[in-house]
Structure 1
Amino acid sequence: MKGPFSILILLFTMQLVAQENKKDSITQLDEIVLIEDVIAKKATGITASSAIGPTTFEKFNPIDIASAMNQVAGVYILSGALNTNRITIRGVGARTPFGTDKLRLYFNGIPVTNGTGSSTIEAFDFENLGAIEVIKGPKATSFGANLGGTILLDTKNPQGDETKLANNFTIGSYGMLKENLSFQHSNQNLDLTFSYNHFETNGYRQNNSFDRDGLLLNTNLKMNSKSSLGLLINYIDYTAQIPSSLNQTDFDEDPTRAAGNWLAAQGFEANKYTLAGISYSYEFGQNLKNTTSIFYSYLDHYEPRPFNILDEFTNGFGLRSQFEGNLGNAQYTFGGELYKDEYHWGTFQNLFRDNNGNGSLQGERLSRNREFRRQLNLFGTLTYTLSPMLSAQIGLNLNNTNYNFQDLFNQGAENTSAERDFNTILLPSLGLQYLFANGKLYANISRGFSNPSLEETLTPDGVINPDIAQETGTNYELGAYVALLKKKFSINITAFRMNINNLLVAQRTGEDQFIGRNAGETRHQGIEMDIKYAHRLSPKMVLSPYLSYTLSDHSFVDFVDGENDFSGNPLTGVPKNRISSGVDLLHTNGLQLNLTHQFVDKIPLTDANTLDSDSFNIFNAKLAYQAALSPHFSLGLNVGANNLFDANYAQSVLINAVGFGGALPRYFYPGNDRNFYGGVRVGYLF
């Protein structure tokens, strides 16, 4: 279902006429001013969280989930490429060389973080999402109490009693083509969503193409007045070339270059990812409900790199069960989550230098390994209403993690098989919330942890390090939310402080070799602020400016690396100041203009703070129009431009980079230059 077929669908549907969901129309602006989506909160009880939905998503290119999530204060995605995203929350995870760890990621309530804590948000199509909720810090007792926090992804839900078909088709710079074809049906007993998505691009840089296809099926069947059954299947198949990072000279002179060794090897990664889950909900009565899910995931990953070829696959499965109910003035939840996966990986020689310029060529096997990983989380929370204005919440999470590493390649004394069973850890949380006329005050104290990644558990010889320990930390948080002027103006401000002990440090010992060790203590503290305002310019037009600001005053408290004492230095990989701002102009005739801006302060690139990336400002714009052509058909058009002033900036960085073979260290992943996109959306309401 490539481009030509999409165009046929568009031409056919445009002949018929369209209205998708009347509830989506912005013609209600003359009755009420809405400055944000109404999103059902998934965080337990009074746990503070931040959520974004379609109103935010539609301001950006439909492949740019990073920019949308960067609108949330305290959250920053460093995006080296479409397939290389590192999510940091309050500075946690900033020292991870590649990818995302130290947080928990859930998709429709199913955990999709693997056995060592790694998450891949690129496994999900942005256009299928209806909401992203972020719980910052370890206060998410029911979701693992990780130091970074929890991200809850939820798909779009069909509206009541309607059936509709919609197709979004987008083209853009660098040969970009994307489509998302979705069918949704909802009645009294059944909600069903099925979507197909395709995306391809040549990319801004050399060796930077990306090709992805995906399917999503999400259903919920109401079996009777007390029970319902849900089914979720998400499948993604993508191949992405890897241009890798650049040194300072190449970044300044020609950011479109790929790293020389990756270009010569024509490095890439190919992934096939499947997630399947079944959930069953049952209401025992008005005061007790249970939801139980069983799930399975499979990842097949093949990645030729200049130094070797990685071939791996992972089978993961698990169970999550949660009870929730009321008892007098108290609301409670309790349950458990068990996740186990079996990780197989091996490396081979890459003979690209002997392949006549044709890129990677697999040679002899270098290693073969298997690891069994298990995480058990037991949790419970109790929220008690002390008065109509004051509520308190206590929570407790218990975690046990086990790694069983098997060396299937080496024999005898050279065999490095070993097992690591971490001590069971208890993670309490206490929260308070006070309501007043126009808002609320909230506070939280919580303890969290992070497991070491697979690489961090191994010594340079590939043996499990028995001395590596989990990171632990205690988070202190105080915040306030105020809505004024009939809720047209709102401000949410939070101050936090968290000390992390047994800091996990990944040291690079080779091109493809990182080892971990516990190297001291960091202090994460800062301020997060979100301001929103909606002003009616006329009976038919609303202007909505907004601003999110993050102050990250993170530092090493105690960090000695060999003969170097970095204590007191700012934490590597985190910008001190970050601003996301913009203005939306909405007209009741369906016309919408979105102007967005992001400022990112300089980022320390070395633990010694001897080198920083440059700060930058990025401006984007999008103009969209949506209209009902008949009671059944709707049509939407949009055009957008990113990086309006063509800034040369680093969209991601690699900290403490090391040059090998006399080469300069490669710190920078360039962001795209000025680029454009445009799309058509058609819908049919049955």
Structure 2
Amino acid sequence: MKSPLIFLISLLTFNFSVAQDPVSKDSITELDEVILLEALKSSADNGIVPTQIIGSKVFKNYSPIDLVTSINQVSGVYILSGALNTNRITVRGIGARTLYGTDKLRLYYNNIPITNGSGFSTIESFDLENLSHIDIIKGPKGTNFGANLGGAILLNSKQPAIGSSYFRNNLTVGSYNLLKNNLLFTLQEDKLSLSLHYGHMERDGYRENNHFEQDGVLLDLNYQLSPKTVIGLLVNHVDYTAQIPSSLGLTDFKENPKQAAFTWKAAKGHEANNYSLVGLTLNHSFSEKLKNSTSIFYNYLDHYEPRPFGILDEYTHGFGFRTKFTGKFDLSQTKVAYSFGAELYKDEYNWSEFENLYKDNNGQGSKKGDLFANNKEFRRQFNAFGNLLFPLTEAFSAQIGMSINKTHYDFRDQFNEGSENMSAKRDFKPILLPSLNLNYVISDDTKVYANISRGFSNPSLEETLTPDGVINPDISQETGINYEVGTQWHLLDEKMKVNLALYRMDVKNLLVAQRVGEDQYVGKNAGKTKHQGVELEMEYNWKIGTDLTLSPFISYTYSKHQFVSFIDEGNDYSGNPLTGVPAHRLNSGIQANLSQRLYWNTTHQYVGEIPLTDANSLSSESFNIFNSKIGYRNQLAKRVYMDVSLGLNNIFDTNYARSVLINTTGFGGSEPRYYYPGDGRNFYGSLQIRYSL
């Protein structure tokens, strides 16, 4: 344990919610969902583009260490989690072929870009317990947020309610020696709004070589300089060390999923990360018809990862700005809403690799040997965007948008400095990304929408390099056209909500990872894919009595994704299902308020078979996972509020793959390693205390 004082802090720290009156029943259940200071309110703010929001109501279904799973309740979005530090977010099949990490979408924290210069995002660098809500834009229709094929995910931190200041401490303990503590102090008075979070977590994990330990601090400070101007400071720092058990072959996965991959266990493979983000934002209202939000930001990542095939030592520091103007103007007695802006991100990525002499280290794990690679890459992305929203009639509106992206890579091999062709630049041509959104309100309870938009994805760093380690001049950006129609209903006196969407996305210049060594890959453009699907979400709020309320919900995704034309190393895979995507996925559950104080939530996740090879010769097995959580909340005193909960995950102790790799190859006669086992049956308990000032 890093600090035994954590226990003492957890038990003695209170939390608060500043009203001079006692906390009411409504404030108990709704306080975490309130977002105030409208000038700072963080939302998709993207016109009539359909956006799905995950808030505290969904977060309450899951353990505080597993809030990333809450995103799986959104149809069309699937997170594969190999471990707490290894998450891969896929949206409508985009990103499913990425082997490690998340790319092909944009990630923002309080509207500050946190996706790096090659397009990779690490949601694990943020404690999701610090969030008020998450906005998800599926597909490239979010012109204001990069128009990436996978869309955009916007993380929004908690803001204190007006006149509300409090301490809140949430302590969670559970299986695998889990200890997580999250301490929050908020202050809101006059012109100042402050939220300060400190989090600590440690866990041994379900598998061998699976220990995780993390500390994080988040400061969110906002000050009203004038009635029209608010300035904000965001500081996020995360320091974590995570052992890596890696993936398993089918035999090991079925017989002993708790074991680590042999070489990773022998090397005691792990990663150590120090990540910092600092952002300064100025919001100014010039008039009722023109407002601006501008941010400047800096981030730094220091990453050290001893792997069996080499020790990676890298650091990245990046900076940039984002500005956005919004307003309205009159056109033929119609008010047209507009937005336009730009975003620039530049970073410098430095990485070195050393031999790993773990085999000669007397069982002590990794040992740094000779340097065999030393590289530097400068990366730059520029996005400009604009939208016009026309209310054509009272019921019918149209929004046209345009985004332009310009990407530049400058690679330098410092190990073979002076050798011919070992450094290179890649300047991608500007790419135009138009979008059209239509929205028709049939009634107060029903509306339909349609979208056609163009998106793109940049190749990752590994995909830009040839097997010789230089930039591939022939690699191209993936591009695609998205077609989507959908409807939203509020039925039965608004007790039932139904969302239905149908989409098709045609992607060309498909980026394919080709394996050239153990866990080493390069990229190439290999064909076209067609992404088609149906997404359905339903929720019903059933008030049975004065205090008893049941809210069943269901989220279903049908994906028919396939290669249209795909030839790889002489093999024709055209017509095969897209690798890494389940055809069927279902999330369902029920939330129950059994009284004013007692609540109970149960969730179910079904994931169908996932094709693991382009030849469609092997698939993972489908699985069902059930989780349940019960809690009790109460006001203990005028200023003290308590919430205690107990949860059980994977109730039936199912052996399942929470994440998979595709197209892996066994080396030295070993079995190909496709599977990351999910946790077995495990429990947790949380105690939250809030004390109002």
Q: Supply the distance in 1 between the matched residues of 2:655 and 2:488 (Cα, whole angstroms).
A: 37
The equivalent position to 2:419 in structure 1, one of 413, 416, 422, is: 413
CA separation in 2, counterparts of 1:56 and 1:614? 27
Per mean C-alpha deviation after superposition, the further-off stretch among 202-211 and 479-488 is: 479-488
* 8 Å CA contact retained: 1:528, 1:551: yes
Give per-residue Cα distances to partners, 1:295-343, cap 9 Å, x unaligned.
0000000000000000000010001010000112111000100000000
Q: Kindly indicate whether residue 106 of structure 2 is the aligned counterpart of residue 108 of structure 1.
A: no
Q: CA deviation at 1:12?
A: 3.3
Aligned partner letter, 1:574: V
Distance 1:493 1:534 in 2: 18
| Structure 2 counterparts to residues 190-339 of structure 1, below 5 A | 190-328=192-330, 329-339=335-345
Mapped partners of 2:446, 2:159: distance in 1: 29
CA gap of 1:517–1:444, structure 2 versus 1, over 3 A, is same
Match of 1:608 in 2: 615
CA apart distance, 1:590? 1.6
Alpha-carbon distance in structure 2 between the residues aligned to 1:586 and 1:65: 21
Tell whether 2:359 aligns with 1:356: no
**Gap change, CA 1:84 and 1:23, over 3 Å in 2:** farther
Distance in 2 separating the partners of 1:37 and 1:632: 18
Candidates 515, 527, 532, aligned match of 2:534: 527
Confirm or deny: 8 A CA contact 2:105 2:149 kept in the other structure. Answer: yes
Q: Which residue of the partner structure matches residue 27 of structure 1?
A: 25
Match of 2:637, SS state, is coil
Per the alignment, in what secondary structure is the counterpart of residue 544 of structure 2?
A: strand
Among 61, 68, 71, the residue aligned to 2:70: 68
Task: Report what 2:38 is aligned to.
Answer: none
Paired residue for 1:580? 587
Distance 2:594 2:208 in 1: 41
Correspondence 1:131-170 to 2 at 5 A: 131-170=133-172
- Give 1:11 deviation, angstroms: 4.0
Counterpart CA distance in 2 for 1:106 and 1:604 is 31
CA distance in 2, matches of 1:447, 1:11: 52
Residues in 1 aligned to 2:76 and 2:327: alpha-carbon distance in whole angstroms: 32
- TM-score normalised by the chain length of structure 1: 0.97
Q: C-alpha offsets along residues 553-577 of structure 1, whole Å, 9 cap, x if unaligned?
A: 1000000112211000000000000
**What is the CA-CA distance between 1:588 and the residue it aligns to?**
4.1
Partner of residue 130 from structure 2, selected from 109, 128, 131: 128
Could you tell me which residue of structure 1 aligns to residue 631 of structure 2? 624
**Displacement of 1:388 after TM fit?**
1.1
Q: Which runs of 4+ in 1 moved over 2 A?
A: 1-14, 17-30, 36-41, 411-415
Equivalent residue, structure 1, for 2:572: 565
Letter of the aligned partner of 1:96 in structure 2?
A: T
Could you tell me how far 1:18 is from its partner in structure 2? 7.0
Structure 1 gaps of 5+ residues are none
Name 1:648's counterpart in structure 2: 655
Contact 2:22/2:638 (8 A) holds in 1: no
Measured in 2, the distance between the counterparts of 1:390 and 1:456 equals: 44
CA RMSD of aligned residues (A): 2.0
Q: Give 2:468's aligned amino acid.
A: D
Alignment partners' CA distance in 2, 1:29 and 1:218: 22
In 1, are the aligned partners of 2:82 and 2:676 still within 8 Å (CA)?
yes
Identify which of 456, 460, 470 aligns with 1:449: 456
Specify whether residues 26 and 471 from structure 1 end up closer, same or farther in structure 2 by C-alpha distance, changes over 3 A only.
farther
Once the two structures are superposed, the pairs formed by residues 54-93 of structure 1 within 5 Å of their partners are: 54-93=56-95
Secondary structure (helix, strand or coil) at the match of 1:116 reads: coil
Q: Determine if the alignment matches structure 1 residue 497 to structure 2 residue 504.
A: yes
How does 1:385-404 map onto structure 2 within 5 Å? 385-404=391-410
| Residue range with higher mean Cα deviation, 503-512 or 398-407 | 503-512
Residue aligned with 1:637, SS: strand
What secondary structure, in the 3-state scheme, does the structure 2 residue paired with 1:411 have?
coil
Aligned mates of 1:377, 1:463 — CA distance in 2: 26
The residue that corresponds to 2:488 in the other structure is 481
Contact 1:176–1:200 (CA under 8 A) maintained in structure 2: yes
8 A Cα contact 1:37 1:54, kept in partner = no
Q: Write out per-residue CA displacement over residues 370-405 of structure 1, whole angstroms, 9 at most, x where no aligned residue.
A: 000000000000011111111100000000000000
Matched, 1:598 2:605: yes
1:674 and 2:672 matched: no
2:240–2:273 contact (8 Å) kept in structure 1: yes
Match of 1:455, SS?
helix
Distance, in Å, in 1 between the alignment partners of 2:34 and 2:579 is 35
TM-score normalized by structure 2? Answer: 0.96
2:428 is the alignment partner of 1:426 = no
The count of aligned residue pairs is: 682
Alpha-carbon distance, 1:66 to partner = 2.8
Distance in 1, matches of 2:688 and 2:589, equals: 24
Q: Find the aligned partners of 2:160 and 2:430 in 1 and give their Cα distance.
A: 42
Tell me how far apart the structure 2 counterparts of residues 4 and 308 of structure 1 sit (CA, whole Å).
35
Residues 1:41 and 1:588: Cα distance change in structure 2 (over 3 Å):
farther
Decide whether aligned partners of structure 1 residues 594 and 415 sit closer, same or farther in structure 2, where only a CA change above 3 A counts: same
> Whole-Å Cα distance in 2 between the matches of residues 28 and 311 of structure 1?
51
CA displacement 1:493-536 (0-9 Å, x = unmatched) = 00000000000001111014211110010000101111000111
Which amino acid in 2 is paired with 1:118? Answer: F
Give the CA deviation at 1:447.
0.1
Distance 1:37 1:651, change over 3 A: farther
CA deviations over 1:26-67 (Å, ceiling 9, x no partner): 83499x999x99997424100111110111111101011232
CA distance, structure 2, for counterparts of residue 26 and residue 642 of structure 1 = 31
Among the aligned pairs, what percent are the same residue? 55
